[in-house]
Structure 1
Amino acid sequence: MTPLSRAVDNTDLAPELRRRWAATVAEARSPVAREGAARPDPAPYADDLLARWSEPQRRYHTVGHLSDVLDRIDELATFADDLPVVQLAAWFHDAVYRPDRSENEERSAALAERALPELGVGPVRTAEVARLVRLTVTHDPAPDDRDGDVLCDADLAVLAGSPDGYAAYAAAVREEYAFVPDAEFTVGRSAVLRQLLALPRLFRTPMGYDRWEHVARRNLATELDLLSG
């Protein structure tokens, strides 16, 4: 298993991410689109998404985070009902990210709703990708939402990093909100941590719960204690 958080050069990840994107799109396309003579080239869409994930305001929500989420989805793949849909949702879930905005998930979902039909992904799968992207607002899927379980577990897996890895994650989040004064950030970040700790389970898949729940709760509680102190 690869580390739960890492510092990487985005350019090192790009070739493999482009390959993975092309494979996922090919799997997700409707049969008519797969068999048609004029299939859209997925490569320009990958370039656009990777450019979005590489924007300068990002410190945590980067190409490295995208790669990590996709890796975690691979580990949890047996728990998904429609794996290509979950993988596409990972690509789009933070495709629009402005730390000073509250509608990032909605705008990311809308981007998926525009792009995926152009790529030949059918309406049912497109709607499901958008639903999963919107679910990352709360990370609280319904009890029978297997695809939501996998995406949310993969997105939250960073919370179960080593002490150093978690500290690097928390520092990167703070950097993204560098424009927010310390006192205001402490209040907002503490609320987020309390919201996560209040969930009955952070991780919904059996594997995610067994591997990550205890460590993630310890990390969250430690950060909250440090902020309170």
Structure 2
Amino acid sequence: MMAVPLMDEALKAELRALYRRADRHYHGLGHIDELLRLAGDHRAALADPEAVEAAIWFHDAIYDSRRNDNEEKSAALAADRLADRTDAQRLRRITDMIEATARHVVPDIADEAARGDAALFLDMDLAILGAQAEIFDAYERAIRLEYAWVDDTAWRAGRGAVLRSFLSRPRIFHTELFRQSHEARARDNLSRSLAALAIREA
């Protein structure tokens, strides 16, 4: 008897429908496709690439910019849909990765290889911060659209706090791979975006 795959086409179709919602200006299929591309590029560095793929598919499945429990709800959806497809320990690693996207801190997973997968997954999720300036700027505009219900004053304060929180970290990225390739540009992008917020405020 063949093992049930973690992610089959029926499950992907269910998730694609969620990512195609009209309010998904950034957290949509384009983001998922980019993460799957990155996971493919770095597949050799992953101990469990299928688990990382599942985390990618589910990590923004539930997304409402007015709520602060999206990651928890996305992890719960993954736990429900994947419960009969893998063992409990592996499923917990997947849900830990999903929940870790709330603060982008590597979860406390005992297994070193699984921690490495989580670190690389989180870095791939933040790769947009270290993208070329025009791509990062398009990302910032898309995030603003997802928070269109927030007035400009509150947006500048809230978004500014998020950008400063990343800049205040000793390292934005967890892996040496992404620190080498993305860290410097991410700091440039974040600083430039903060300056733009301040100009609009003035």
Shared fold per TM-score greater than 0.5: yes
State the one-letter code of the partner of 2:148.
Answer: A
Displacement of 1:56: 1.0
- The 3 A distance-change label for structure 1 pair 183 and 210 is same
Residue 103 (structure 2) pairs with residue 133 (structure 1): no
Equivalent-residue separation in structure 1 for 2:38 and 2:168 (angstroms):
23
Task: Considering Cα pairs closer than 8 Å and 6+ residues apart, tell me whether 1 or 2 has the greater RCO.
Answer: 1
Residue 56 (structure 2) pairs with residue 81 (structure 1): no
State the one-letter code of the partner of 1:83.
Answer: P
Displacement of 1:42: 2.6
- The 3 A distance-change label for structure 1 pair 212 and 40 is closer
CA RMSD of aligned residues (A): 2.0
On the 8 A contact 1:190/1:227 being kept in 2, the answer is yes
Match of 2:11 among 45, 48, 61: 45
Residue 83 (structure 2) pairs with residue 122 (structure 1): no
Report the equivalent of 1:62.
Answer: 28
- The 3 A distance-change label for structure 1 pair 117 and 179 is same
Report the equivalent of 1:20.
Answer: none
Displacement of 1:142: 5.5
Runs of 5+ consecutive residues of structure 2 not aligned to the other structure: none
Displacement of 1:81: 2.5
Runs of 5+ consecutive residues of structure 1 not aligned to the other structure: 1-31
Secondary structure in 1 matching 2:23: coil
TM (norm. structure 1) is 0.79
Equivalent-residue separation in structure 2 for 1:213 and 1:154 (angstroms):
12
Equivalent-residue separation in structure 2 for 1:136 and 1:189 (angstroms):
17
Report the equivalent of 2:183.
Answer: 213
Equivalent-residue separation in structure 2 for 1:152 and 1:40 (angstroms):
20
Secondary structure in 2 matching 1:121: coil
State the one-letter code of the partner of 2:106.
Answer: P
Equivalent-residue separation in structure 1 for 2:73 and 2:58 (angstroms):
10
Task: Summarize deviations over 1:136-186 as a string: whole Å, max 9, x none.
Answer: 011121695201111111000011111111110000000010010000011
Report the equivalent of 2:77.
Answer: 111
Match of 1:149 among 107, 112, 119: 119
Report the equivalent of 1:162.
Answer: 132
Report the equivalent of 2:195.
Answer: 225
Match of 1:92 among 53, 58, 62: 58
Secondary structure in 2 matching 1:94: coil
Moved more, 121-130 or 181-190: 121-130
Match of 1:187 among 157, 168, 171: 157
Equivalent-residue separation in structure 1 for 2:43 and 2:104 (angstroms):
18
TM (norm. structure 2) is 0.89
Equivalent-residue separation in structure 1 for 2:181 and 2:107 (angstroms):
21
- The 3 A distance-change label for structure 1 pair 96 and 154 is same
Displacement of 1:82: 1.7
